[in-house]
Structure 1
Amino acid sequence: MNSPTSSAAPRRPHRQRLAVTVALTAAALTLSALPATAGTGPDTAAPTAQLRVKANPAHQATSITPAHRKQLLAEKADKAPATARTLKLGAHEKLIPKDVVLDADGTVHTRYDRTYAGLPVIGGDLVVHEGPAGRTVTYASQTAPAVPTTTAEVPAATAKKTALGKAADQGTRKAKAGKAPRLVVWTAGGKARLAWQTVVTGVQKDGSPSERHVVTDAASETVLANAEHIRSAEGRSLYSGTVTIGSTRRDDGSYELVDPQRGGHRTLDATATSAGVLFTDTDDVWGDGTAADPQTAAVDAAYGAQTTWDFYHDRFGRNGIADDGRGSYSRVHYQATPGVPLANANWQDGCFCMSYGDGADGKHPVTSLDIAAHEMAHGVTSATAGLGDFGESPALNEAISDMMAAAVEFHADNPADVPDYLMAELDDLHGDGKPIRYMDEPSKAGISAVGYAPLDYWSPETKNAEAHMAAGVGAHFFYLLAEGSGKKTINGVAYDSPTYDGLPVTGIGLTSATDVMYRALTVYMTSTTDYPGARTATLRAAADLYGAQSDGYEAVANAWAGVNLGIGYVNHIGVERPATEPVATGQPVSRRIVASSTRPGALAYSARSLPRGLSIDPASGLISGTPDKAGEYDTAITITNGEGDTRTLAFTWTVVESGGHYFTNPTHFVIPEHGTVESPMVVRGRPGSAPSDLKVTVDITHPFGLAMVIDLVAPDGTVVPVKPWGPWVLGPDLHATYTVDASAVSAVGTWKLRVFDGTPGIFDMDEGELQGWSMSF
């Protein structure tokens, strides 16, 4: 395989993500292209009391009636062709309005699905923001949905058979595809492909209904997605005491469990049939507070539905889960199979309903308020951002449900269920007396049924974790944003939330944290949003609500930094810690310190004890020059903002010897996925030609290191092959020395090591990294 030429790629913290926002306002945070690196010195700030933030009323979403919402969507549908032309979409592309949010200042945020030649485009959704400040657009993906043909090479019957098999592989029992596969255009993976989408129904391993969406390439039959769409959470009953619930009197004087004030929400008994039978009663007094009475579970389910409805209505003016005034329905005593109780609860978009089991022993209905709110939040997410089935989106979906479940509990403030940041805290699901989730430190839950512990912090590998485990990152962020880090007691519950970098985080309160998340979800997130995208969305939401120069904005950034995502602010200055891997004598260095401040004015940079031969530009923060002396340097970089606030980063910088018979460049370079990177090296003091036995040593981290194609580019442009593609063996990293004949070229000048990622295109993974290389003459 030949490796295409490409310019050198600077090291960056993680791969390019799908969600892209264009025409950002000045409120958007400037992100550095330099990574945070281990080995940097202390960076401290004194903790403060919980921040008080004041929202900008102009950027608060206003409550609109279902009729007004319907009218706005109709207007947007009429204007959709013109909007598509304005956005320069292709001739075969059409926009379909899905949701609309109206701000107090008149800004309208319209969420669109997209089609191509009449086919749904998965990953093609976008949000248009139109207001006094102009128009901006948030895209789920920048990938154009154009495909060479809309005729599938793989027959629908073959796609269906593949989908059924793949669903079964993931644990779906009694799998069947009730509807024929539909053709779609898949753009979520960064490349437009014609694909089949098959909906496979059946039963999950725990007995819950299964609705699995399997997407297969219509040309190669490759499975592009295989995701469960029925969202479930573990739990048993957690009763809420004596509550008032909505019911309706019938003509015969009896009552049915239909809530007339909340869209006609119905509560059904699924003991005898999965479809459920409406609960009725003669005296409108429901249940007796024990699991022995079948109506008790119905009371909890109805209470959960009405409390969640009221939370969204009272806080955000939302009229029901889909904001259309329509009530869902709840089924209690749902069974995995006839006679086998379901130890779970779930939300299902297909029926717009909740299903509650009775626990593994059939005696503990899974009807707690936090579980009900968690599951119904999945419905809100589906009706808004529509977080998809790939990457970190499912984990973010789960995390948002945990966030909103906590918010609903605190909103209800029921003394029988004291609000907290725990899930199912009175339930002994695992027989250990512990809650199933801790938002202040998710890993405290220990090893789960899937064999992993919830994650406290983000990393590039988070996208590979099981969704409920990876949801810990988002839940931890939300707790830090609401309450801050460190030890505290809230409503009698002790918390002690750590941060990744050890820096304290000051919270803004649950109400403000929930405001930020809801606006980010409903206005800025899309189907492809991952955790880095969620960070961007919440910062935009905070800028809307509180201003980009506010403590609230800084708090959002600091909470994300607390879970190892992005930069935080100390003394109102945010800075990406510089790459501090070693440099070499005689090798040019160019590394920029990128910082931002929430305070006005330009930043100034200064440095102490840089490696000899290097200097820093006081205006740009660019460190450049050529080191001329090896050793360890205790370097400190100080950034000063326009108001005189300062922030100092201290770290040890190593300079290694390069010259004579041995030349090295230890600077790290990202190897783009299926792309090319070049690392330069200057050779001096070697007159004449290079040797015929030149030793080239490379250090590469990559899941498929042997798939890398490596060439040496001599100073005159001559390409000397170092390593061909293969062999095809799964083996991470590549640390090897190769002997090449370079006697045809002169030694002095700038050499380049060129690395091409030859991993087959069917694999989707993070970039690798060239961690350094050397030549021995």
Structure 2
Amino acid sequence: MRLSPGQRQRLLDQAVDAAPDTARSLRLGPQEKLIPKDVIEDADGTVHTRYERTYAGLPVLGGDLVVHQRHGPRTVTYASKAKLTVPTTKAKVSADAAKKSALSTAAAKGTRKAGSHSAPRQVVWMMNDRPTLAWETVVTGVQRDGSPSERHVVSDAASGATLENAEHVDSAQGNSLYSGKVTIGSTRQDDGTYALIDPQHGGHRTLDSTGNFQGVLVTDDDDVWGDGTAANPQSAAVDAAYGAQTTWDFFHDNFGRNGIANDGRGSYSRVHYEAVQGVHLANANWQDGCFCMSYGDGADGQHPVTSLDIAAHEMAHGVTSATARLGNFGEAPGLNEAISDMMASAVEFYADNPNDVPDYLMAELDDLHGDGKPIRYMDLPSKAGISSVGYAPLDYWTPETTFAEPHMAAGVGDHFFYLLAEGSGKKTINGVDYDSPTYDGRPVAGIGLSNAAAVVYRALTVYMTSTTGYQDARTATLRAAADLYGGKSDAYEAVANAWAGVNVGNGYINHIAVDPLPTEPVATGQPVSRQINATSSRPGALTYSAKSLPQGLSIDESTGLITGTPDKAGDYSTVITITNAAGDTRTLPFTWTALESGGHFFINPTTYVIPQWGKVESPLVVRGKPGNGPSDLKVTVDLDHGFSNAQVLDLIAPDGTVIPVKSWGPWELTPELHATYTVDASAVPTVGTWKLRVTDGTPGFYDLAPGHLQRWSLTF
């Protein structure tokens, strides 16, 4: 539903008035307040209100949330569900010390001529689900490639440790383009000349920054702009103005969005940008601070970076900033870049400009690397090869995606979008050959570009928050698909299957999706509880059956829970069958091993997730002769974690005695731990249930995927 500026403002005003009651209903703390930032109303009357949070008057970074309400119960999407509280709002580190440290940190990351944009502001940092009193300092300057730098440095107000050091000038790569003959908006001035001010698109202005980084309004005597060559400085201005108006029209015509911030206000574009006189910007960027886009002339100063997909990419950064505000923590930066690529392709197809044939490539008119190739291929991102940062774009999600450079991590989202729009396999579109594989080798059927863009846009503006990564993006896009096409639709399945195609979540086969089966071995004498989790895109309940389970186990046909105690070791050719109410079935065969556990050796091979900064306990039943344990009890542990050596291990005897097994450290980056430890158990009973407790000792400023206790055993 398209809201007029007046309607939108009325809803925002109502949200402001209701904010205290909303905060209370959400059970926020007494020092927390909600500040409405945006509102969307669906045709059915559902209102989605986006809020920022404050704590004791301090902005909360990573505390944003979206309230979804119609007439019934409301639902909420949180950037963080952690309890918002800090011991004190009095900083131990002074603002001056925070500023000095931020300047040094920014300079170390490549910001030249670094200076503080304003005094550091005190905030609560919540991006890692651990609220921390902090200082945020905005450092401005120039990046190595000549781009303006607007680096946000967040530091712990108690220790001074850097929590975030993120560049907020979003840059796309590119350096050559041409949009052909187009119609652009201009305004006649009082002196009879014309200026590149577009009255139909919020008064968007196009400036020339040659020798003046702030830019001078581009003007002309006869309202005929440029000559289509890079030698004429107006040509790049035409491309920038055309890109801005086309992207504005795309968002308006497809989603009813009225400009970048949905308030009818135009931004401005700066071409021939020089952050420092004579130093050419090698690419293009969006900058929140000026609400503007800046376009350079390439590394050699001769190739304006103003193609339609580059312009759409940068303007989409502005839309993201005005909505979900995808931040600089975890996978959010990569997702931010990917969404700009998605919208750039969608804008190209919307424009259908014969001089820039629509495709799923980025900056294909630009020869950035001197090899005549695009800088991004959405059907198979790794085709772009090694970039200037030393890595190739990622085709599929892996745990390392969290730490990848944003443009490289964007490959996961780019590939998802191509699969969702066009599907997998070989095809030719507008003369371009594509061949998109999937992670699991299963085919994916696309739903068309327009539908794919609609799903992503709704997910971005309604369900994503500042901390959204790829797993949460899957959830957001599935909710969006359910809103637009129904939760039992083929489009809903396609979204899940496209994500599964890039190794994010599960896909549907025969309308049934199944979580990875818990097929790690079981052990004789050890109680088993393994849950089969499945969903169907068709109405009705699921039923479960199994053949050849390890002897002693059975499955609940209505819940899919496998329980029992194995009593015979061996390899079992197990088959799990899941059936939905429509009669569709999905059959899952695998070999399930039952290990021998008893005598002097007892093992629990069940995998347990190690929660971040939390702990988990795995039980192990020991049977045999009563009495105390040996003085040289062997404890063998297999686990994986980004910082395995930061995991603390304790053995809990049947009588509750805690026996230390492994302390914290040593501090080394070790992704797996496979070790046997000897402990003295002579003072505790042998028979009963033992437990191995794993405590995650990873420092709080690291945001890692959870680890896993794979198995452990005792040898008496």
Q: TM-score, normalised on structure 1? A: 0.90
User: Match for residue 390 of structure 1?
Assistant: 329
User: Match for residue 218 of structure 1?
Assistant: 157
What's the CA shift for 1:704?
3.4
What's the CA shift for 1:725?
3.4
What's the CA shift for 1:687?
4.7
User: Match for residue 607 of structure 2?
Assistant: 668
CA contact (8 A) 1:139 1:526 kept: yes
Match of 1:489 among 428, 448, 452: 428
Match of 2:91 among 143, 152, 155: 152
Distance 1:317 1:723, change over 3 A: closer
Distance 1:289 1:730, change over 3 A: closer
Task: Tell whether 2:386 aligns with 1:447.
Answer: yes
Task: Tell whether 2:704 aligns with 1:740.
Answer: no
Distance 1:685 1:645, change over 3 A: same
What's the CA shift for 1:155?
0.5
Match of 1:651 among 590, 593, 612: 590
User: Match for residue 173 of structure 1?
Assistant: 112
CA distance in 2, matches of 1:760, 1:270: 45
Match of 2:454 among 515, 525, 544: 515
CA contact (8 A) 1:346 1:375 kept: yes
1:112-127 matches, cutoff 5 A: 112-127=51-66
Task: Tell whether 2:562 aligns with 1:627.
Answer: no
CA distance in 1, matches of 2:234, 2:82: 51
RCO higher in 1 or 2 (8 Å CA, sep ≥ 6)? 1
User: Match for residue 329 of structure 1?
Assistant: 268
What's the CA shift for 1:118?
1.7
User: Match for residue 539 of structure 2?
Assistant: 600
Q: Which runs of 5+ in 2 are unaligned?
A: none
Match of 1:107 among 40, 43, 46: 46
Between 124-133 and 464-473, the greater mean CA deviation after superposition: 124-133
Task: Tell whether 2:515 aligns with 1:552.
Answer: no
CA contact (8 A) 1:206 1:336 kept: no
What's the CA shift for 1:696?
1.7
CA contact (8 A) 1:574 1:596 kept: yes
Deviations 1:162-196 (A, max 9, x none): 11111112111110003100111112221222111
- The residue type paired with residue 222 of structure 2 is D
Aligned length: 716
CA distance in 2, matches of 1:456, 1:326: 37
Deviations 1:652-704 (A, max 9, x none): 22222222222222222222223222222222234543322222211222343
Distance 1:612 1:202, change over 3 A: same
Distance 1:439 1:305, change over 3 A: same
Task: Tell whether 2:355 aligns with 1:416.
Answer: yes
What's the CA shift for 1:769?
2.0
User: Match for residue 87 of structure 1?
Assistant: 26
Task: Tell whether 2:79 aligns with 1:163.
Answer: no
CA distance in 2, matches of 1:538, 1:728: 39
CA contact (8 A) 2:270 2:294 kept: yes
Match of 1:203 among 142, 153, 177: 142
- The residue type paired with residue 748 of structure 1 is V
Distance 1:118 1:284, change over 3 A: same
CA contact (8 A) 1:637 1:648 kept: yes
Task: Tell whether 2:81 aligns with 1:142.
Answer: yes
- The residue type paired with residue 644 of structure 1 is G
Task: Tell whether 2:409 aligns with 1:470.
Answer: yes
Deviations 1:333-374 (A, max 9, x none): 112532232210011111111111111111110000000000
3-state SS of 2:546 partner: strand
Task: Tell whether 2:270 aligns with 1:342.
Answer: no
User: Match for residue 320 of structure 1?
Assistant: 259
User: Match for residue 180 of structure 2?
Assistant: 241
CA distance in 2, matches of 1:102, 1:672: 37
Match of 1:719 among 638, 658, 678: 658
CA distance in 2, matches of 1:124, 1:199: 19
CA distance in 2, matches of 1:391, 1:462: 9
CA contact (8 A) 1:145 1:186 kept: no
Distance 1:119 1:259, change over 3 A: same
What's the CA shift for 1:732?
4.0
Q: Percent of aligned pairs with the same residue?
A: 75
CA distance in 1, matches of 2:199, 2:597: 79
CA distance in 1, matches of 2:219, 2:368: 31
Match of 1:699 among 638, 648, 655: 638
Task: Tell whether 2:5 aligns with 1:77.
Answer: no
User: Match for residue 440 of structure 2?
Assistant: 501
What's the CA shift for 1:304?
0.4
Match of 1:574 among 490, 494, 513: 513
User: Match for residue 396 of structure 2?
Assistant: 457
Deviations 1:526-578 (A, max 9, x none): 11111111111111111111111111111111111111111111111111121
Task: Tell whether 2:226 aligns with 1:287.
Answer: yes
Q: Which runs of 5+ in 1 are unaligned?
A: 1-61
What's the CA shift for 1:717?
2.4
CA distance in 2, matches of 1:603, 1:190: 35
Distance 1:85 1:709, change over 3 A: closer
- The residue type paired with residue 483 of structure 2 is D
User: Match for residue 706 of structure 2?
Assistant: 767
CA distance in 2, matches of 1:293, 1:723: 69
CA contact (8 A) 2:176 2:367 kept: no
CA distance in 2, matches of 1:310, 1:728: 54
CA distance in 1, matches of 2:631, 2:86: 49
3-state SS of 1:517 partner: helix
